Amino acid sequence: MTKIAAEMLRQAGAKKIHRTDLPPDYYIHIQSTMRMKFVVDTSCEAYQVERLYIADNSGQNPTLTTQALATRTAEHLANKYFNG
């Protein structure tokens, strides 16, 4: 599976791919640093990469926050790019 994922990343334009042998559940509650208003704007679009949207969080117990941001961002993208 990791070979398939690496190939997909290469075809998408990845220049470097960092892999690990850690078990997948090791990262189940990893905390992120993509803070809103620091890395992305209030619609979750990255400041430095146009049309890169990051639905992420930087807090404790992130599941509900991530789900809420992902849903809101998906709705925003659907309205902006697919509903005219």
Note the pLDDT of residue 60: 63
Residue 15 CA to residue 37 CA, distance in Å, equals 27
Whether the Cβ atoms of residue 69 and residue 75 lie closer than 8 Å to each other: no
Residue 30 CA to residue 20 CA, distance in Å, equals 15
Residue 49 CA to residue 3 CA, distance in Å, equals 27
Query: Token pair for residue 82?
Result: 């697919």
Q: What is the pTM of this model?
A: 0.54
Give tens-digit pLDDT for 6-54.
888 899 999 998 877 777 666 655 566 666 778 888 888 999 999 999 8
Q: Where are the domains of the chain?
A: 2-81
Q: For the chain, how far is it from start to end, CA to CA, in angstroms? A: 37
